Structure 1
Amino acid sequence: MEQAGPRSAHGSAGAGTPDIRTEAVRVPAQPQAADVDRERHAAPGGTGVRGEHTHSEAPIPRPRAESARPVVQRASVRGQILDALRAALVAGELAPGEVYSAPVLGERFGVSATPVREAMQQLALEGAVEVVPNRGFRVVERGTRELAELAEIRALIEVPVMLRLARTVPAARWAELRPLADATVRAASLGCRATYAESDRAFHRAVLALAGNSQLVRIADDLHRRAQWPLVGGPATRGRADLVADAAEHTALLEALAAQDLPVVQSLVREHFAGA
């Protein structure tokens, strides 16, 4: 998968790091004491990460035009912010090792710090970020070893399932999933990493759902999401051609599944995971 390059603690890009080329959000002025007190008591239970310092924090780039999200609505604000943060993480706009505060991220999305903090806490539970007391949240730094381990685990879980499905699912059912495979090709042609990541997971969820095991789908999707996070020291993005080639493997997999070609199914799935 595509990876984002490392940054220093103050947000300066390391040597050779691609320029994101997006507009930075200005750092808001520090709130007054009364505002801080209101924010502290507004959080559930009066606890959580508070007093994040923003004066030395790196500016946050706005999403690229092709991956821009709609303006956040009142309904399900936390869920929308969580989706937006996940997209920014996958796109490399939240760099590994960098610390981000809820107030600055809130300004980026036009909401208060509270729903951002709640969404970041969920990302912390997922292992994408870690809490930095009195500062905010640091994006976890991951290396190629972790990515290889995730690929191995995914193969151990999904290969046997897909081989069983290849033997039992009628060809007509695989044909019904062709629109999802085509959607990944269209997303890849846009060159937008976040959009492709969503369509990629949707395709794999649909395939595994035919096994009739919701727990399997949930676990596999979590592993898949983690495999899409950026790596330290890796390239900021994969080229459009790489994404299109990755998406083409979905079509090839459907054809192998429909033909009950078990050796090809096994080979395609393992190679797909290794190159994700």
Structure 2
Amino acid sequence: MGGHLKQSHLITAQERLRDQVAHALRAALISGELQPGRVYSAPALAADFGVSATPVREAMLDLAREGLVEPVRNKGFRVTEVSERDLDQYAELRALIEVPTVGAVTRSATREQLEGLRPVAEEIVACAGAHDLIGYLDADRRFHLALLALHGNDRLVETVGELRKRSRLYGLTALDERGLLVASAREHLELLDLMTAGDAAAAEACMARHLGHVRDLWADEDH
């Protein structure tokens, strides 16, 4: 029995490492450290992370299922290139889903539920100000998905989560250096203020503008 217990702990630890590596790889993709079109080997990435190649290969397979990378036989994984057309379509889908949902949540959520998101919105601004790009991306993801979750449709939240993964930002470091991240971060607080004031139309307009700015950032850095 003890052997089984020990083995289950080991599996949990391996799965956790795989998830941690996948998270780190996503962050590297989003920040542009891993570049579109380039091939990366699991052993080389494992050496960078200071782990064995196995969790890196497993994490890369997770990313391949999400369409972020593609396996290259005997070489490793190529970072998927996202075209302008792809980005336009992802942005359109997000707007179609998120803009009306923000209006619906404004009308249905309690003030307490909305105010519960304020610490995360403030965390986004703080991370942008501190040039903490990974923290910024993580807080931004948590804010948007938690806001959508107030609508009560789990599939909707999952769908937007997938769209966010596929429409990752490139060159975030350059955007940070130009001071554009802080302005984008503050839009989350503006959105929350409009929602707590009960102004659904203005909240929808703010979300549409915010998503438009995000798409503009992709265009700035992709080409």
TM-score for both structures, normalised by structure 1: 0.69
Could you tell me whether the CA contact under 8 Å between 1:197 and 1:228 is conserved in 2? no
1:158 to 94, 98, 101: 98
The CA deviation string for residues 223-248 of structure 1, in whole angstroms up to 9 with x for no partner, is 12222242xxx676212521111111
Counterpart AA for 1:111? V
1:253 to 170, 181, 191: 191
The more displaced of 84-93 and 165-174 is: 165-174
Q: Which residue of 1 aligns with 2:78?
A: 138
Counterpart AA for 1:239? D
The CA deviation string for residues 106-144 of structure 1, in whole angstroms up to 9 with x for no partner, is 111122211111111111111111111111100011133
The CA deviation string for residues 140-177 of structure 1, in whole angstroms up to 9 with x for no partner, is 11133222211110011112211111112222321221
- Quote the Cα distance in structure 1 between the aligned partners of 2:116 and 2:136: 20
Q: Which residue of 1 aligns with 2:3?
A: none
Q: Which residue of 1 aligns with 2:120?
A: 180
- Quote the Cα distance in structure 2 between the aligned partners of 1:170 and 1:223: 27
Shift, 1:95, TM fit: 0.6
Q: Which residue of 1 aligns with 2:37?
A: 97
In the alignment, structure 2 segments of 5+ residues that lack a partner are: 1-12, 215-223
- Quote the Cα distance in structure 2 between the aligned partners of 1:190 and 1:145: 33
- 1:229-248 counterparts in 2 under 5 A? 229-230=169-170, 237-240=174-177, 241-248=179-186
Counterpart secondary structure, 2:71: strand
Shift, 1:74, TM fit: 6.0
Could you tell me whether the CA contact under 8 Å between 1:208 and 1:217 is conserved in 2? yes
Counterpart secondary structure, 2:175: coil
The two structures, once aligned, show a CA RMSD in angstroms of 1.8
- Quote the Cα distance in structure 2 between the aligned partners of 1:153 and 1:272: 14
Could you tell me whether the CA contact under 8 Å between 2:121 and 2:143 is conserved in 1? yes
- Quote the Cα distance in structure 2 between the aligned partners of 1:228 and 1:274: 14
Q: Which residue of 2 aligns with 1:201?
A: 141
Counterpart AA for 2:192? L
Q: Which residue of 2 aligns with 1:8?
A: none
1:84 aligns with 2:21: no
The CA deviation string for residues 61-102 of structure 1, in whole angstroms up to 9 with x for no partner, is xxxxxxxxxxxx867221111111111111111011110001
Q: Which residue of 2 aligns with 1:47?
A: none
Could you tell me whether the CA contact under 8 Å between 1:162 and 1:265 is conserved in 2? yes
Q: Which residue of 2 aligns with 1:225?
A: 165
Aligned residues: 201
- Quote the Cα distance in structure 1 between the aligned partners of 2:22 and 2:172: 24
Higher gyration radius (CA): 1
RCO greater where, 1 or 2, for CA within 8 Å and sep 6 or more? 1
Counterpart secondary structure, 2:77: strand
In the alignment, structure 1 segments of 5+ residues that lack a partner are: 1-72
- Relative distance call for 1:85 and 1:244 in structure 2 (3 A) is same
Could you tell me whether the CA contact under 8 Å between 2:120 and 2:139 is conserved in 1? yes
Counterpart secondary structure, 2:182: helix
- Quote the Cα distance in structure 1 between the aligned partners of 2:81 and 2:138: 22
Counterpart secondary structure, 1:212: coil
Moved over 3 A (4+): none
Could you tell me whether the CA contact under 8 Å between 1:90 and 1:193 is conserved in 2? no
1:273 aligns with 2:203: no
Could you tell me whether the CA contact under 8 Å between 1:148 and 1:274 is conserved in 2? no
1:168 aligns with 2:105: no
- Relative distance call for 1:195 and 1:144 in structure 2 (3 A) is farther
- Quote the Cα distance in structure 2 between the aligned partners of 1:221 and 1:149: 15
Larger helix share, 1 or 2: 2
